[in-house]
A = this chain, B = another copy of it.
Amino acid sequence: MKQFPISIVRFLGKSGATLMLVGLLLARFVAHGQQLISPDHSLALTFSLTSQGAPMYALTYKSKTVLKPSLMGFELVQEKPLNSGFSLLKEDTRSFDETWTPVWADVSHIRNNYNEFTVTLHQADTDRTMLIRFRLFNDGLGFRYEFPEQANLKYFVLKDEDTQFALAGDHKAFWLPGDLDTEEYSTVTSNLSEVRGKMKEAITPNASQHPIGPTALQTPLMMKSKDGLYINIHEAALINYAAMSVVLDDSNFVLTTYLTPDAQGNKGHLQVPTQTPWRTILVSDKAGDILLSHTILNLNDPTKFQDTSWIKPTKFVGVWWEMITGKSTWAYSDTDNVQLGVTDYTKLKPNGRHGANTQNVKRYIDFAAANGIGAVLAEGWNVGWEDWFGHEKDYVFDFLTPYPDFDVKGLHEYAASKGVKLIMHHETSGSTRNYERFMNPAYQFMVDNGYDTVKSGYVGNILPRGEFHYGQWTVNHFLYAVSTAAKYHIMVDAHESVHMTGLSRTFPNLMAEEAARGTEYEAFGGNNPDHTTILPFTRLMGGPMDYTPGIFEMKVEKINPKNHSYVHSTLARQLALYVTMYSPLQMVADLPENYEKHIDAFQFIKDVPVQWDDTKVLEAEPGDYITYARKAKGSDNWFVGRTNDELARESRISFDFLDPGRKYIATIYADAPDANYETNPQAYVIRKLNVTNTSTLTQKCAPGGGYAISVVAQ
């Protein structure tokens, strides 16, 4: 690691608006680089150039080192690199403080408050200019590279982005293997120095996967330092750029950005004026601050949508878990070779286990209508599922043609008569060109038939062949789908897509994504018991996850005798997930008949909303537990959710978030004393308490357990 050199140090404010900032900066002036301080003074960024003119930054939090001097820049294909030989041409500073109203979020208003520092760097021997814009919030740093219009840099191809994150030590990390095609790994909790030894085991099989290397890790990467700092590294506003992973130098604990390559091995094709996504480092000495951060969202642009009235968060049920568990099938027949436009489906022998048949979907519609659940998903409604997987088929689905036993018009009428919306399913099998060809007619088909939300999927290798799920090409596709859907007033829930980066601010119809191991893995061998104590610190940092909570029947063999997997959670915790796993789109994932067996517990799912005015973190430690309290939108009621790892724990919370002097009735859905995710997951107790803002609660949580509370204002 290079030393920070002595360099020319100037720091000049530009206007009255930055005057206070300048004052602060001057007060915290250091001798060997430019420094920027966060509005609350907790974070300090230092920027400098090495003696070779390489840009470098470092970050402290309350004087503790978050990032040691870390190099920045790019290597280019067939051109000189943009990572050294720079001189400082200009510096700009700015303060920003604004509160904005999201279309949906975990809170009703979001404060966007940062100090900004922008360096304009000039590379003399090529006469090229690059800017680095830093925004320092109270809970973290975002920075990006910007390439303005200029004579000697117009079109360029990235060979690598060199951005480093030089960590201060061997942190405890919550990590996934870096991969170009899947995020569906179990999170490994280990020190960074242990990554290499655990990598092989961490790389479990997936329908499409390209692990990057023995120390490559995905972002959001959550870490905890030995001196008690919680550090989260990710990116914001990933638009027309390859998604990032990081490669760990496990001798020095330096992370270096690794961009997903394209089919030719290049990392990105850019044209000025342009900029990279933001690289984000969130920091706090309280884990809950990471969970409450809106910095990634704030680093995205405000939406340009004029009308957002059509964007409506909802709960939904669907023909889905019965296929995941193996009880029924997506396919209509058991043949294994079909061709759209060739195969005559009316002549195929039905297999008798096709889930998305009209009668069965009506059953879900009835259940939704009876329980105030807004929408119904039906997967496997369209022809092509017989051989959709594993063949890299190009023309795999047409998104327009239902199976013979799926009555599109009839179901539209039936659902509408019951006041229930329909959720469309567009599995693409990774065949992005085919999806784009059908996109407009498929969305129009949705509009015509009562569907306002699409759950899309990208299982398997990406077509065009050679491209990866997280490369610039496919990232571009994902956002094209979202922006095209918006033209039809369609909301999107994308599965097997790229990690979220706060784009829902700009495209608020991007309701949720999967992009991690969801509940489906409970039927494929089970998720780690601590899975949901980690996801809010990792996957959810970029946006909501369609985790599909709410499984009440933990033994999958009760649904499909051949499947011996079980859900690694108690029933009470399944309720809690509606609070802890924030999403404006929440599935009520189990079969109707399983809810009917526990109708008292199901009451929580009926009651819990999907829109919130406020959010508090009452307890949090990644990998151990999280307890959230959220205030229902337009209501005085609160909902509390607690998720626990594999250990029995005691949760102690205060109700001090409630309005002073107000009386509330809390209905607590908790693990029974003998509950255990492995041996007795369905044991729960429900009790009611009168509470006020001075009340406290001590609640035992079972291994793999948790609790949910509805707090209703009187």
Contact partners of A262 in chain B: CB under 8 A: 465-466
Task: Determine if A337 is an interface residue (Cβ-Cβ < 8 Å).
Answer: yes
Whether A271 and B337, one on each chain, are in contact in the complex, defined by CB atoms closer than 8 angstroms, is: yes
Instruction: Please report which residues of chain A, range 390-435, place their CB below 8 angstroms from some CB of chain B when the two chains form the complex.
Output: 391-394, 433
Task: Determine if A207 is an interface residue (Cβ-Cβ < 8 Å).
Answer: no
Contact partners of A436 in chain B: CB under 8 A: 433, 436-437
- Residue in B closest to A477 when the chains form the complex, CB atoms: B433
Whether B480 and A263, one on each chain, are in contact in the complex, defined by CB atoms closer than 8 angstroms, is: no
Question: Could you say which interface size class chain A belongs to?
Answer: 20 to 34
A10 to B476, CA, bound (A): 59
What is the CB-to-nearest-CB distance from A572 to chain B, in angstroms, rounded to a whole number?
A: 46
A488 to B154, CA, bound (A): 38
Task: Determine if A269 is an interface residue (Cβ-Cβ < 8 Å).
Answer: yes
Whether A269 and B464, one on each chain, are in contact in the complex, defined by CB atoms closer than 8 angstroms, is: no
Among candidates B154, B437, B465, residue contacting A264 with C-beta atoms closer than 8 Å = B465
A149 to B335, CA, bound (A): 12
| Most chain B CB within a 10 A radius of its CB, from A262, A266, A271, A394 | A271
What is the CB-to-nearest-CB distance from A386 to chain B, in angstroms, rounded to a whole number?
A: 11
A263 to B437, CA, bound (A): 20
A467 to B440, CA, bound (A): 25
| Given A433-B436, A476-B394: A154 in contact with B336 (beta carbons within 8 A) | yes
A97 to B421, CA, bound (A): 58
What is the CB-to-nearest-CB distance from A391 to chain B, in angstroms, rounded to a whole number?
A: 4
What is the CB-to-nearest-CB distance from A370 to chain B, in angstroms, rounded to a whole number?
A: 42
Task: Determine if A273 is an interface residue (Cβ-Cβ < 8 Å).
Answer: yes
- Residue in B closest to A262 when the chains form the complex, CB atoms: B465
Whether A342 and B391, one on each chain, are in contact in the complex, defined by CB atoms closer than 8 angstroms, is: no
- Residue in B closest to A463 when the chains form the complex, CB atoms: B473
Whether A337 and B394, one on each chain, are in contact in the complex, defined by CB atoms closer than 8 angstroms, is: no
Whether A392 and B269, one on each chain, are in contact in the complex, defined by CB atoms closer than 8 angstroms, is: yes
Binary interface profile of A, 149-169, with partner B (CB < 8 Å = 1, else 0)? Answer: 100001100000000000000
Contact partners of A480 in chain B: CB under 8 A: 437
A49 to B578, CA, bound (A): 68
Binary interface profile of A, 124-162, with partner B (CB < 8 Å = 1, else 0)? Answer: 000000000000000000000000010000110000000
| Most chain B CB within a 10 A radius of its CB, from A264, A272, A337, A393 | A337
Contact partners of A464 in chain B: CB under 8 A: 263, 464, 466-467, 473
Contact partners of A337 in chain B: CB under 8 A: 149, 154, 271-272
- Residue in B closest to A391 when the chains form the complex, CB atoms: B155
Task: Determine if A339 is an interface residue (Cβ-Cβ < 8 Å).
Answer: yes
A464 to B466, CA, bound (A): 10
What is the CB-to-nearest-CB distance from A687 to chain B, in angstroms, rounded to a whole number?
A: 57
Contact partners of A466 in chain B: CB under 8 A: 262-264, 464, 466
What is the CB-to-nearest-CB distance from A323 to chain B, in angstroms, rounded to a whole number?
A: 23
A393 to B156, CA, bound (A): 11
Whether A394 and B269, one on each chain, are in contact in the complex, defined by CB atoms closer than 8 angstroms, is: yes
A26 to B266, CA, bound (A): 62
A436 to B433, CA, bound (A): 9
Among candidates B271, B392, B440, B473, residue contacting A391 with C-beta atoms closer than 8 Å = B271
A336 to B467, CA, bound (A): 29
Instruction: Please report which residues of chain A, range 437-487, place their CB below 8 angstroms from some CB of chain B when the two chains form the complex.
Output: 437, 440, 464-467, 473, 476, 480
Binary interface profile of A, 214-250, with partner B (CB < 8 Å = 1, else 0)? Answer: 0000000000000000000000000000000000000
What is the CB-to-nearest-CB distance from A644 to chain B, in angstroms, rounded to a whole number?
A: 46
What is the CB-to-nearest-CB distance from A349 to chain B, in angstroms, rounded to a whole number?
A: 15
What is the CB-to-nearest-CB distance from A439 to chain B, in angstroms, rounded to a whole number?
A: 9
Binary interface profile of A, 73-110, with partner B (CB < 8 Å = 1, else 0)? Answer: 00000000000000000000000000000000000000
Closest 9 CB pairs of A and B: A263-B466, A464-B464, A155-B391, A263-B263, A264-B466, A154-B337, A264-B465, A466-B466, A263-B465
Instruction: Beyond A264-B465, A271-B337, A271-B391, list 6 extra A-B contacts (CB 8 Å).
Output: A149-B337, A154-B387, A155-B391, A263-B467, A440-B440, A464-B464
22 A–B contact pairs at CB < 8 A? Answer: A149-B337, A154-B391, A155-B387, A263-B264, A263-B464, A263-B465, A263-B466, A264-B465, A269-B393, A269-B394, A271-B337, A271-B339, A271-B393, A273-B342, A394-B476, A433-B436, A436-B437, A437-B480, A440-B440, A464-B464, A464-B467, A464-B473
